[in-house]
Amino acid sequence: MTPIHPLLARIDHGPDFGDARFALAYLEHTSEQPGRVALEEISHDPDNPAFFDVVDEDGVTRGIPLRQVLEV
């Protein structure tokens, strides 16, 4: 299993994946189902590398810890 940081870096910057589309599934504490978000819809705060930001359906930006990623 590849750690999440190197995997995301490979997807973001590596030519290996071409124009493939990826999504993250993450532990969503407010639901029994995992949250899902397309990689192009997330952002990273360089000052807080342990999190990624997601804008939810209400337009609120939430920080999700990378440790809660279940699958790519």
Output the pTM of the full model.
Answer: 0.76
| Boundaries of domain holding 60 | 4-71
Banded model confidence at residue 65, pLDDT cuts 50, 70, 90: very high
Yes or no: say if 23 and 36 are a contact pair by the CB < 8 Å rule: yes
The model's pLDDT over 47-61, given as tens digits with 9 standing for 90+, comes to 888 998 988 778 888
13 pLDDT higher than 70: no
Q: Write b or e for each residue in 26-38: b if 16 or more Cβ atoms lie within 10 A of its Cβ, otherwise e.
A: beeeeeeeebebe
The model's pLDDT over 15-58, given as tens digits with 9 standing for 90+, comes to 777 778 889 899 988 889 998 998 888 888 888 889 989 887 78
How many distinct structural domains can be found in the chain?
1
